[in-house]
Structure 1
């Protein structure tokens, strides 16, 4: 992809890890399509930070579990920024923390719809844009997983852990299928990171409590996850595909 104009879609890009990824990739020269579900104000703020790096940005509201909205996201980014060459599949939900038997079916269904179906729908559309078999020039995808995929998250959100294990399986399968078509697919597994997700789950101090069992004795910063994503999206990682990179402080 050396010399190619890079246009990357970042879902869940209005805040937290997604916003950090959008700005970090902008610094590396990517034009950014920012998918967001709710907060237009946050998305616009991320877009301003992206443009401050000298590239273009377009925020698009999207529920990634809805196929027609995913199509609109990619159509808009292509029309305004150019052919899509990258995807960071970051949009995800957890629901409240709690034991598995107390987790409502509606929460489980929503988590699977966004974290698994949404990631698959975005991946499929991105691959139709990037794959050389479909007229693209190749590209790169990074799926944001979680350490929960291998730790299981007992007593917290087993359903979320299961959804992220699915994301890692998707990563490996797509890497093998689309490597011959010019697309690299990798995954990043963050540990506890200082974002607003913990408060949304009902435990705003969770990242710091988790830090007690982390070898580095601290939670991660969104920029540290963004740096890992940026490397995987870069030409420096040109021989890396199908990898699941743990960025967790040693957990």
Structure 2
């Protein structure tokens, strides 16, 4: 158990919500970020509090710098410290080939998945760095196996944004390793979440499960356990690294 504080972006559903529940169960005070729909986030807060934990929700679009700044200010006012950040917020658009994509789609994907992660990482480092009076901490960036596989014919823009997130993970890990901060990534594969519906194919995991060596899609809880391990003291000598939670795909 711990009395540490964690901020999880995009935490109202799917992998983010699973991370929030598991973090709370392990004693973290949890700041749950959502972009627009606050109802699921508030329901998650209630579930955590009903289980004896501490949590609160902050609505903020991480692609907007002013909203990121406000979110961190609310976190400072509520808990006064930050020990862990999970950059989980991510979006994709409907499946299509690169030749069909326009600039506005690509910019929208990168604004949340890349710029948002940079901004949140920046604010986390400012609070965690031992060179700035912080107590150290850990960051986990939730990437995707698509960053390696390419997601051809579906989401090459999403895959490219996650590849950029992987580079952020490696570069930032080296920058802050001497300041008490570890930075790692988790790359989920085919996970049963609502994100597939937002891409236009709710049954995508079922369609592709036979391409997974383990023969099934994964669950959000399975990703959350990898995230929480990387945040824990058990991973004290691990930084700039990745865990693929993908059933071997």
TM-score for the superposition, normalised by structure 1: 0.97
Cα distance in 2 between the residues matched to 1:52 and 1:186: 31
Q: How does 1:166-205 map to 2 (within 5 A)?
A: 166-205=164-203
Q: How does 1:94-173 map to 2 (within 5 A)?
A: 94-173=92-171
Query: Shift in Å at residue 52 of structure 1?
Result: 3.1
Cα distance in 1 between the residues matched to 2:27 and 2:7: 13
Residue matched to 1:43 = 41
Cα distance in 1 between the residues matched to 2:55 and 2:120: 18
CA contact (8 A) 1:56 1:81 kept: no
Gaps of 5+ in 1: none
Cα distance in 2 between the residues matched to 1:144 and 1:172: 13
Asked if 1:21 is matched to 2:19, the reply is yes
Cα distance in 2 between the residues matched to 1:157 and 1:55: 37
CA contact (8 A) 1:191 1:248 kept: yes
Structure 1 stretch displaced more, 144-153 or 77-86: 77-86
Cα distance in 2 between the residues matched to 1:211 and 1:205: 10
Q: Which runs of 4+ in 1 moved over 4 A?
A: none
1:67-90 Cα shifts (integer Å, max 9, x gaps): 111011111112112201110000
Asked if 1:218 is matched to 2:234, the reply is no
Cα distance in 2 between the residues matched to 1:40 and 1:4: 27
Gaps of 5+ in 2: none
Asked if 1:237 is matched to 2:239, the reply is no
CA contact (8 A) 2:2 2:28 kept: no
TM-score for the superposition, normalised by structure 2: 0.98
CA contact (8 A) 1:90 1:143 kept: yes
Query: Shift in Å at residue 54 of structure 1?
Result: 2.3
CA contact (8 A) 1:92 1:114 kept: yes
Query: Shift in Å at residue 189 of structure 1?
Result: 0.1
Cα distance in 1 between the residues matched to 2:246 and 2:51: 28
Asked if 1:67 is matched to 2:72, the reply is no
CA contact (8 A) 2:2 2:26 kept: no
Residue matched to 1:82 = 80
